[in-house]
A and B are shown apart, each in its own frame.
Chain A
Amino acid sequence: MNTPIIGIVTGAAGAIGKAIAIALAESGANLIVTDLDQEALDKFITESSHLPGKLVGMAGNMLDPELGRKLVARTMSEFGTPNLLVNCSGLLLDNRIQKMSVEKFRLLIDINLTGPLRLIDAVAPVMRDAGYGRIISLSSRAWLGNFGSSGYSSAKGGVVGASRSLALAFAPHGITVNCIAPGFIDTPMARSMPAHILDRVVRSIPVGRTGTVDDVSALVKFLANPASGYITGQTLVACGGRSISNPIAIASKEKHA
C-alpha cells in the first residue's frame, strides 16, 4: 500500500516536533505544522524548504476549541484529506503536589490532554470516511509516575488511557492510535538543567546517554507508515531502559552488598 502522508504535526516549533516534521517531510510527507509562535514556524519552514515534502505553518493555541477544525480545513485546502495526526505540543510545569496550584494543574490537563483529544475529535471523522488514518500522540515516561510532575504526569496518563479507548473504537475503520512515551531527551530545555542534575539523570539511564530527538522521530515515522497497521493502542516507551531499572539504585545495592 502506497499512501502518501498528508498530516498535521503540533508543537512543531519545539525540538522534538521539528525533528518529527523533518523526518516525515524527508520521506515526502506534506504537513501542516502548528505551534503557538508563527515567527518560529516561519523560520522553521524556510529552513526546511529543501525537503521533498511540503510544510505549511499555521499558528494555533491548544486551548482554542476550534483549533482542530481549523487545522483540518487548512490541511484539506492545501493537500487533501489528512491521514496522519501527530500530537506533539505540550507544556511542562513541574512541582510537587503540595506546591502545584489547582489552576496550573488544570492548565496542564487542558494543554496536554484535552487539547490533543480535541484535535483527534476533529480529524477522526475524515479519517473514518477515508477508511484509513494514523494518530500518534506524544505521551511521556512521566506517565509511569514522575516525582514532581503531578499535573504533567496525569495529563500524559490521560493521553494513554484515551488512546487505548480510541484505538479500540477506531480499529474497524482502518485508523490506528498509538502513543510514544519519551524518556529524557536532549533538547535545549534539558540542556539548561544544572550540570550535576543532568549528570545524575544520565547515570540513571541504563544505555548511558540521553535520548535524541531522532530517537523519537524514528518511532513516529514507523508508526505513521501504512505498514504499521497491525500496531494499535500501544505506548512505546523510548527511555533507554530507564522505565525498567535504575543503574544508580543497582550500584548502591551492589556497594552495600
Chain B
Amino acid sequence: MSQQSPFDCLLLAPANASPSQSSATLGEVSDALTVNFAMTKAAINHFEKTSTAGRLVSLVPGDAAMGDPTSLIHSAIAGGMLSLFRTVALELRKTSMTANTIMYAPSKDPVSAKEEMIDAHGITVLINALLSVDSHGINGQEIYSLGGADVGRLHP
C-alpha cells in the first residue's frame, strides 16, 4: 500500500480453501478475519487520506457462504466477512467508496488440490464492473455468481 503508487482498490479472498484445510483450527478463523479487517481498515484510511473513490471487493467461496458441512472454518470466515462488508458498506454510505462481495463457485484442482474458480473470466468481468468509477451506487451488495446453484436456497 505504497503512498507513491496509485492504489484505489482492495481485493480480498478471505475464505478460499488451502491444501492444509484438514488441519485448520478455530484459531485460523480469528487470524483470517483479523488480517482481513486490518487490511480493510488500512485501505479505507488510505482512500480517505488520498480522497480516493476506493473500491473494496471481497471474494468468498459460495459453498462456504451457504454452509459447507465439510469446512466449519471456511463457513465461519465466510459468514464473518459477509457481515464485516455489510457493516463497512453502511459506514461508507456517505462517501465515494464502496464495499461489495462476490460469491464464486470453487473447484479443486485434482492434482494440486488447490482451489480454483470455475468461472474465473465471469468473476473478472464482475470485479471490473465493481471497480469502475461509475459503480459508486453499488455498495453493500452480495453477488452470487454460482451458476444458479444457490437459487431456491436461503442466502446467509
Contacts and interface: CB of A to CB of B under 8 A. Distances in A.
Interface of A: 96-98, 100, 102, 105-106, 109-110, 113-114, 117-118, 121, 142-151, 153-162, 164-169, 233-235
Nearest to A106: B34
Interface residues of B, number: 42
A145 B27 CA distance: 24
Contact of B71 (A145, A160, A165): A165
Given A98-B44, A113-B80, A161 B65 contact: yes
B14 to A, nearest CB: 11
Say what secondary structure dominates the interface of chain B. helix
21 contacts: A97-B37, A100-B37, A106-B30, A113-B30, A118-B26, A145-B83, A145-B87, A148-B87, A154-B33, A156-B83, A157-B80, A157-B156, A158-B33, A158-B76, A160-B79, A161-B65, A161-B67, A166-B72, A168-B68, A233-B67, A235-B156
Contacts of A110: 30
Q: Which of B34, B40, B76, B81 lies at the interface centre, i.e. has the most chain A CB atoms within 10 A of its CB?
A: B76
A145 B29 contact: no
Interface string B116-132: 00000000000000000
Contacts of B70: 169
Contacts of A148: 87, 91
B105 interface: no
B48 interface: yes
A98 B88 CA distance: 10
Given A117-B76, A161-B75, A154 B87 contact: yes
B65 A117 contact: no
Given A121-B26, A158-B33, A153 B75 contact: no
Contact of A97 (B66, B80, B91, B154): B91
Nearest to A155: B80
Q: Which of A118, A142, A157, A235 lies at the interface centre, i.e. has the most chain B CB atoms within 10 A of its CB?
A: A157
A147 B79 contact: no
A168 B38 CA distance: 31
B13 interface: no
B86 interface: yes
Contacts, number: 145
Contact of B79 (A142, A151, A161, A168): A161
B44 A161 contact: no
Contact of A150 (B48, B76, B88, B156): B88
Given A114-B27, A161-B79, A153 B84 contact: yes
Given A142-B87, A145-B89, A157 B79 contact: yes
A105 B140 CA distance: 20
Contact of B38 (A102, A144, A158, A169): A102
Contacts of A144: 83, 86
B84 A150 contact: yes
A109 B69 contact: no
A96 B26 CA distance: 26
Nearest to A115: B26
B41 to A, nearest CB: 5
B80 A109 contact: yes
Contact of B67 (A97, A102, A143, A164): A164
A153 B86 contact: yes
A169 B45 contact: no
A165 B75 contact: yes
Contact of A159 (B40, B71, B79, B86): B79
